[in-house]
Amino acid sequence: MAPDRPLPCFPPILPAWFLHDPMTTASLLLVLPLLAAAPDSQAVGLPASPAGIADSLRREGLENLSVAVDSAGGVHATYENRRYIHGATALGHASLATGSGARMTPLRLGLPIANLPLESGTWPPTVTYPSDPGWTRPPAGPRLDPTRWKVDLILRPLFDYEVGRLYDPVLVRTALRPELSTQPWTGARARISWVFPFRNDFAVTDLAPDVNRSRPGPATLEQFAWLGRVGLGSASVGLFDLNRWGMSLGLARPFAGGAFLIDGRLDETGFWAWSDSGIAYSELSQTSGYLGVTYRPPVWDLAIRLRAAKYLYSDQGIEVELERSLGDFDLAFFAQHTDGINVTGARIGIPIPPLTRPTWPVRVLPPDRIALNYRDVSAPAGIQVSDVASREEFLEHHSEASLAANHRRFGVATGDIPPPQPTRAEPVSWVGMTGFVTIPWAGVQPDQNVELGYAKVPKPAAWDHRGEHSNEVYYMSLGFLPRTELGLRWTVMPGLKTFQGEVPDTKLTDSDRMVSGRVAIFEPGTLKPGLAVGMEDALGTRRFHSTYAVTGTEFPLKALQGRLALGYAFPVFEATRYRLDGAIGAIELNYSRFVTTALEYDSERWNAAVALHPGLGFHLRAALFDLRYLGLSAGWSRAL
């Protein structure tokens, strides 16, 4: 029986005999559902237009766009990322717009960084730079959404501090530095800034005579350029930080997909200051700079730097630095030897929201990250001119090692990998390392997991000045590398004044800074013994030192979960005091994911503890040292 209404899916150009043929009609009825479910033309491999791909890249928040599609459908696209905090995330969003198999050329300041050819099932992409023989030029022609003359107003807070002086235990300096920057042409950045001081506890010195004045900040013109096979060059001129003016030249050459970077810099500067009558300055008379190499292993997003340097204040020496990217945070440790002075310290880069940023022509934002530095020497030694062009910063996130370590970011952006789930935090002891009450556990913090906290050991149970002063511990326990835990700790003895016998009116409270570490040789599991070795107070005064080996396992006990640890602490290095010395052991029961209890023997006494885990990363703990003296602790943990 014929239908009582026409079939709307048939094109009107079909002849009437075609519709009335029963075999043809039956065939069409079978084929139509398949046609309706067929993917669009791009999905089945038909080449998309450059304009369509560029529109998709724009919708992903990328700029400086140019797209070329060859006769075989191969796509080559350029883009600049001012939106996402990491280059691998931007690459994932670009891949969504271009489809798999495209060749990407990310830009910075309109200048190419690298070639990143994406191939299905291959990660990381083979990275080539404009200085490499295999470099492929990006598409020519005008770029859509150019970044030229787009303006950023960055409201940068400044913070300086110094601790440890006898009469002024803590000195603080704070200021706000608004910075206006733009890209006037390809590879260039122009910047001006002004400093508004808020507080300054430091004395005015010849090196910083205008520190209490509202004054100009860095005002520079930077230029980056690829110099053929030679590498990436940079030049900076203008007013720099630390009251310097002049010029800086740099040259860097990446090798092996960015695994190695040879980098050098030469600065010629003079002094300047903002006086009552304007800017006072000296001639260019100070030469400084460095020559070094950076190695990035193929895992862990790690950088190892070695440099020979002539520093700003005429001292010369060598320095080594170990830097790890932990999620959106950067953590670096460095050591310098310059003119007979040893300087050690740390630097942490803290990301500042919003982590996904707008791409408006004019933006008013905080900086994308703030760097906090710690140096154990306050003398002006081992210091370079700052706020000059950095080749390593230009290339960051675009080496094969960095992309390999950040495959998760790429996959989350494309939707192929689900967002990471929080890892279980290991309990942290009163020592500031994972463990029980004071003894260590056979495991370590999960990689890229951190806990910050405070613990108090009462006077009768204190490690230092027992019976006279309590010990207050401020700590950070960090999964710095897989199977490796790092502990940073500051221990304060309230009421105990440093050098009070020699300087009766000192205001400095006695404190101790130390670095600890532990490596899990075999990781423990349920009824699976683990083995770890570690050292507390490895770097420091060794007032709280211990070296140990510990084994342990997790075990089920009906509805409960437990942990058991046994170990031995033995003297290896000479120390003022050995916090652990001999056999140690502990047992812990987890009654739910909210409550745990522990009992331990720390080679000297028995200790017990109970911990509450209310959620959101918070941990509250109470302990009875020697089963008599109450100590309290609180911490907050998260995966970076």
pLDDT of residue 423: 67
- Residue 137, Cβ neighbours under 10 Å: how many? 10
Six token digits for residue 90: 């931007």
- For residue 412, give the 3-state DSSP assignment: helix
C-alpha closest to that of 509 among 500, 520, 522, 498: 498
pLDDT in tens, 364-408: 999 999 999 999 888 889 999 999 999 999 999 999 999 999 999
DSSP letter at 263?
A: E
Cβ 624 vs Cβ 607: under 8 Å: yes
Q: What is the CA radius of gyration of the chain?
A: 31
C-alpha closest to that of 181 among 141, 213, 221: 221
- Residue 357, Cβ neighbours under 10 Å: how many? 17
C-alpha closest to that of 328 among 411, 424, 396, 428: 396
Preceding amide of 418 cis, omega within 30: no
pLDDT of residue 121: 84
pLDDT of residue 42: 35
CA 349, 353, 357, 358 torsion-angle sign? negative
Cβ partners under 8 Å of residue 245, min gap 6: 238, 239, 269, 270, 271, 272, 281
Domains and their CATH numbers in the chain: 151-395 (no CATH), 449-639 (2.40.160.40)
Six token digits for residue 276: 């009552």
Q: How far apart are CA 176 and CA 169, in angstroms?
A: 24
Six token digits for residue 312: 């700003």
* The pairing of beta strand 75-80 with beta strand 103-108: parallel
Q: How far apart are CA 395 and CA 109, in angstroms?
A: 12
pLDDT of residue 4: 40
pLDDT of residue 34: 34
* The pairing of beta strand 151-163 with beta strand 369-375: unpaired
Residues of the chain with pLDDT under 50: 1-46
Q: How far apart are CA 81 and CA 300, in angstroms?
A: 23
* The pairing of beta strand 151-163 with beta strand 362-365: parallel
pLDDT in tens, 509-539: 999 999 999 999 999 999 999 999 999 999 8
Cβ partners under 8 Å of residue 142, min gap 6: 66
Q: In the beta sheet, which residues pair with residue 291?
A: 264, 308
Q: How far apart are CA 461 and CA 90, in angstroms?
A: 53
SS (H, E, C) 425-483: CCCECCCCCEECCCCECCCCCCCCEEEEEEEEECHHHCCCCCCCCCEEEEEEEEEEECC
pLDDT of residue 38: 38
C-alpha closest to that of 397 among 87, 130, 80: 87
